[in-house]
Amino acid sequence: MAGVLDALASYLTSMLTEMAKEEVAMLIGVSDGIKDLSIKLGDLKNFLADADRRNITDDSVRGWAGELKRAMYLATDIVDLCQLKAMEKGQTKDRGCLNPLLFCMRNPLHAHDIGTRIKALNKELDSICEQGNKFKFAKLEAYQDLKVTRSLATDRKTDSLMEQSGVVGEKIEVDTRALVEVLTSEGGGDKTGRHIKVFNDEAIQGKFTKKIWLSITQDFTVVELLSTAIIAAGGDLPKGSGALNRALLVDALKNAIENKKFLLVLDDMWGADAWNKLLMTPFGYGGPGSRVLITTRSETVARNMKAAHCHHIDKLGPEDAWSLLKNQILTTEENGHEVDVLKEIGLQIVEKCDGLPLAIKVMGGLLCSKEKSRFAWEDVLNDDIWSVSPMSDELNYAIYLSYKDLPSYLKQCFLHFSLKPKKSVLSLSKRGSTSLEEEGKRNYKELILRNLIEIDPSFPSQLICNMHDVIRSFAQFMARDETLVAHNGDTARENLKSSNFLRLSIETKGVGTDEFEWIYLREQKLLRSLILTGNLKTQPGDSLSIFPSLRLLHIYSANIAALVESMYQLKHLRYLSLNKTDICRLPENIHEMKFLQHISLEGCEIFMKLPDSIIKMQGLRFLDIVDTRVLNGFPAYIDGDWCSMEELGPLSQLNCLSLWCLQNVSSALLAAKARVNEKENLTKLVLKCGGRVGDGLVQGSVSKSKEEQIIEAVFDVLCPQPCIEHIKIKGYFGRRLPGWMTSTAMVPLEGLKILVLEQLPCCTQLPDGLCRLPYLEWIKVDGAPVIKCVGPEFVQQYNQLHGPSYQLAATFPKLHNLYLSGMKQWEEWVWETEVKSMPLLEKLQIWNVQVLHSLENFVSVVELDLGNIPELAKISNLPKLQKLIIKYCPKLETLQEMAALRRLELRVSRWESQLPDYLQTIKPSHLLLTCSLEVLTSMAEGESSSEWDKFSHIKQVEAYAKDGQDEKKWHVLYTSEPCSIQTNIHQVILWSLLM
């Protein structure tokens, strides 16, 4: 609360100070009023910290702060309107808000309107200040106490936000193993962090036909829960009127899981009714061996559900808790002693966290921002928030302390995350090098380092973030007076009757009666952010004009075409996202939305045409039209001249640019009009050709076709600035890559982090000089059938100065992921003995290459994925390897030095009559095998089998053979402790006897 107020107060005070200059004050006749208003805001700032703390338990303080915030938001609207008037008269917005304000004051009618607004605001603040006096707020100095806060950016490693400190390893592994053992043996039963790990554990994979995760909210509806369960189980929802019928939904769920062996996780159960009265009957039709795992904060819930096994997740002990806290704080190995001397205070802090890993991680993030001194840590330990009791269920002492420590601008950013729909990912915008984008990047990085949001490591760009449910609940609680987050239409409708909100996030499931009607928004005239997801019902006459202050509009997967005409009236709008909606166009007068910076129309399948006025939007920073039916990114010369490259020229602020259908550009001169080389903020560039058919060069062909010459020339001029971070090229049919890629001397791409090359049918070599790119983290080459050698093409040789091996020693210092696939003529791999060139490589994937004899010495690789490599014979010296996937490598004979291997996925040809011998040389804890029916039959014989010595030492084995389209028709399931074999292979033997 105070964060938003403090930011608003600082901004408005600065604005009013400028207005108080005699020239402006005389024009509007409120000189004394402006000075008074400025003084009031300055005084109010002194009490905001105390108001924020007392807001937790004092409803009257919360109401007072809410009134103050709304008054300040109205003041920011005044500033926007002044700036808009100046822009409409041709004034540049780059001169800031105050000069346009002066411009507006010189226009009598507008000056009178502004003056009236300021007087009204002054009067309202008088009333608010008078009400605030009775609370006797403490001044700001009482909260400062000479605290020293350092920037996280310099206090903690930020080289890779992918670093995961996680929960204390051994404790969570013990809990996970215990639960997995129960689930895969005899029982079912009883928090979320560990159960996600169980859900994804290697031993679980393949054990169940269906895996279903259901989050049980406190306000679930019957239709919502049953429909979600049907979809999660892979079933079909009833059609027509059946969508509303509980009995039909129950039947549909029963049909989806009948005789299927399933694992069902019911997460965060607050009561037993969802199971006992709704889900138990249909899930009772599941196959033998099915399991139900629930997570709950109440043992009573587990008892009421008649759980066969209750697993209590113990809290962390003092030493484990201290270890986790310390891991969050350490910046380098050298400062370990500096933290160790604070262990006594640290143990007292983690004791206050009650052994909860999430709270400890958040406290670690907070202490990272503090000096490593006894004084600073005692300040956290002795904060009076620990004594506030009782604390609401939605609150958490550690999270509140971290939140309180955030600067005001970061509090706003943090609270914004709670608006996002629960199941959606949080996109961390990382586009551009201007002050706006750079400030955003710094803010999000700090929230990540404080453990308030976390990166999803499965995305190479490291820009997708998630928020833990407990932290999300806290953020929503702190913003409860101005924000409504509802997960179904009924909840939204009920809450909208009683309050006017500043921000709404409403998500419906799009099934049954769960829809939301636009009519319920008509009284929400103060809205500044609106997020709608799912089934939205509009009527003729519905309009966006009812939201005069709207800054953010995000609508996903809804029918909103009727609202397009009124969109231009959103004068304050900055952010517009209408992904997967039914719109076919944007308003022709969209250029009147002067503040609009972000437009996303991804997945709007019937969208046909951008308005001509789009090129007048000088402030536009982001335009996404991917996966629209005709546009597919920005299509070049689809029809007529409305998609000419020239339209892109004026859009100098673009951060992300995707150009499709580049085969339609007839010359380099036309491509140059896009002025890609002038877009200084561009960090992501996607270049795509379509319609090309073929697997490479025509045999014996030497000369280039005219088509190839043109496309090479076109790509040559689409040259980005050196600040580019992400490049993707797909469908390019030139023989050589663009000149700016093949020579880093031409364009030093020193900021490049991600390089993706897909479907290059004619390209004969990979770009050289990438050795000069110190930040390259991700390389993917997929579908380059005429490239024969991997290695020299990546490396500019310096033979004359250093010899060929010198450059290989430090080629890719930051590379985490390397993916090579579809290179049918690959004959050479020069890194086999020089892998020190990739010291951080963790994931290596190689598929569909013709010649690769061995893989050795990839000492940092954790996951190795290999498939369809006919010549591969040896894999060795992989001490950190945990997961290995091998599919159809018939000549592979040697697997050695893989002490950390946990999971092996092996697929051998159905023509193979025995298991490979190399299985005896490794000892994974889990083997997932797909083989021939002959091999499977032999394995089913157990100790008498000729294959016994190849798999009996492995803790758990799942082996399958297909029958027709059923990949897992026949199986052998083996465990070594205790030794047991389960199989259905006897049916095959019986059938053969009957034949």
Residues in the chain, total: 995
Distance from the first to the final alpha carbon of the chain: 78
CA angle, 285 as apex, 280 and 290 as ends, to 5°? Answer: 85
pLDDT tens for each residue of 178-206: 666 666 554 543 344 444 555 555 556 66
Least confident range from 73-77, 461-465, 907-911: namely 461-465
pLDDT tens for each residue of 608-660: 778 888 878 878 888 887 765 543 467 776 555 456 788 888 878 777 888 88
Q: CA 898, CA 812: separation in Å to the nearest integer?
A: 24
Q: Is the pLDDT of residue 84 over 90?
A: no
At 566, is the pLDDT very low, low, confident or very high (cuts 50, 70, 90)?
very high
Highest mean pLDDT pick, 413-427, 533-547, 824-838: 533-547
One-letter amino acid for residue 574 of the chain: R
Higher pLDDT pick, 329 / 753: 753
Residue 37 is predicted with a pLDDT of 65
Q: CA 753, CA 161: separation in Å to the nearest integer?
A: 13
DSSP letters for 550-618: --EEEEESS--GGGGGGGGG-TT--EEE-TT----B--TTGGG-TT--EEE-TT-TT--B--GGGGG-T
Those residues whose C-beta lies under 8 Å from the C-beta of residue 559, and which sit 6 or more positions away, are 536, 538, 581, 582
DSSP letters for 411-450: HHHHHHHTTS-TTS-EE-----SSHHHHHHHHHHHHHHHT
Residue 638 is predicted with a pLDDT of 54
Q: CA 865, CA 845: separation in Å to the nearest integer?
A: 5
Residue 511 is predicted with a pLDDT of 56
Neighbours of 469 (CB within 10 A): 16
Return the SS3 of 958.
strand
From start to end of 775-827, where are the E strands? 778-782, 789-790, 817-823
Task: Label the pairing between strands 426-427 and 454-455.
Answer: unpaired
Taking the CA atoms of 628, 634, 636 and 637 in sequence, report the sign of the dihedral they define: positive
In CATH terms, is domain 208-305 a member of 3.40.50.300? yes
Nearest of 783, 774, 846, 782 to residue 815 by alpha carbon: 774
CB 716 within 8 Å of CB 668? yes
Least confident range from 61-70, 635-644, 931-940: namely 635-644
Q: Is the pLDDT of residue 551 over 90?
A: yes
Residue 689 is predicted with a pLDDT of 92
Nearest of 971, 979, 902 to residue 207 by alpha carbon: 971
The angle, 0 to 180 degrees and rounded to 10, between the axes of the packed helices 98-105 and 108-133 is 120
Q: CA 211, CA 209: separation in Å to the nearest integer?
A: 7
Q: CA 163, CA 457: separation in Å to the nearest integer?
A: 9
Taking the CA atoms of 848, 850, 854 and 858 in sequence, report the sign of the dihedral they define: negative
Q: CA 273, CA 265: separation in Å to the nearest integer?
A: 15
CA angle, 71 as apex, 65 and 75 as ends, to 5°? Answer: 140
Neighbours of 68 (CB within 10 A): 25
Q: Is the pLDDT of residue 447 over 60?
A: yes
Higher pLDDT pick, 442 / 718: 718
As separate numbers, helices (DSSP H) first and strands (DSSP E) second, the chain gives: 32, 35
Those residues whose C-beta lies under 8 Å from the C-beta of residue 248, and which sit 6 or more positions away, are 238, 242
The angle, 0 to 180 degrees and rounded to 10, between the axes of the packed helices 469-478 and 357-367 is 70
CB 414 within 8 Å of CB 403? yes
Q: CA 101, CA 593: separation in Å to the nearest integer?
A: 18
Residue 476 is predicted with a pLDDT of 85
Chain centroid to Cα 19, Å, comes to: 43
Name the β-bridge partners of 727.
685, 755
Q: CA 975, CA 387: separation in Å to the nearest integer?
A: 52
pLDDT tens for each residue of 17-32: 665 554 444 444 545 5
Higher pLDDT pick, 458 / 384: 384
Q: What percent of the chain has pLDDT over 90?
A: 22
Nearest of 686, 424, 408 to residue 554 by alpha carbon: 424
Nearest of 441, 449, 428 to residue 361 by alpha carbon: 449
167 burial class (0-12, 13-18, 19+ CB within 10 angstroms)? Answer: buried
- For residues 587-594, give the mean pLDDT: 90
DSSP state of 107: S
pLDDT tens for each residue of 487-524: 888 888 888 987 789 999 998 865 556 788 999 998 89
- For residues 969-995, give the mean pLDDT: 72
Highest mean pLDDT pick, 182-186, 477-481, 886-890: 886-890
Neighbours of 703 (CB within 10 A): 6
Chain centroid to Cα 734, Å, comes to: 34
Q: Say what the pTM is.
A: 0.63
CB 156 within 8 Å of CB 331? yes
Return the SS3 of 138.
coil
Task: Label the pairing between strands 529-533 and 503-507.
Answer: parallel
Map tokens 């807001």 to a residue: 55
| Peptide bond preceding 390 in cis form (omega within 30 of 0) | yes
Residue 406 is predicted with a pLDDT of 86
At 799, is the pLDDT very low, low, confident or very high (cuts 50, 70, 90)?
very low
DSSP state of 548: T
Higher pLDDT pick, 99 / 417: 417
Averaged confidence pLDDT in the chain = 77
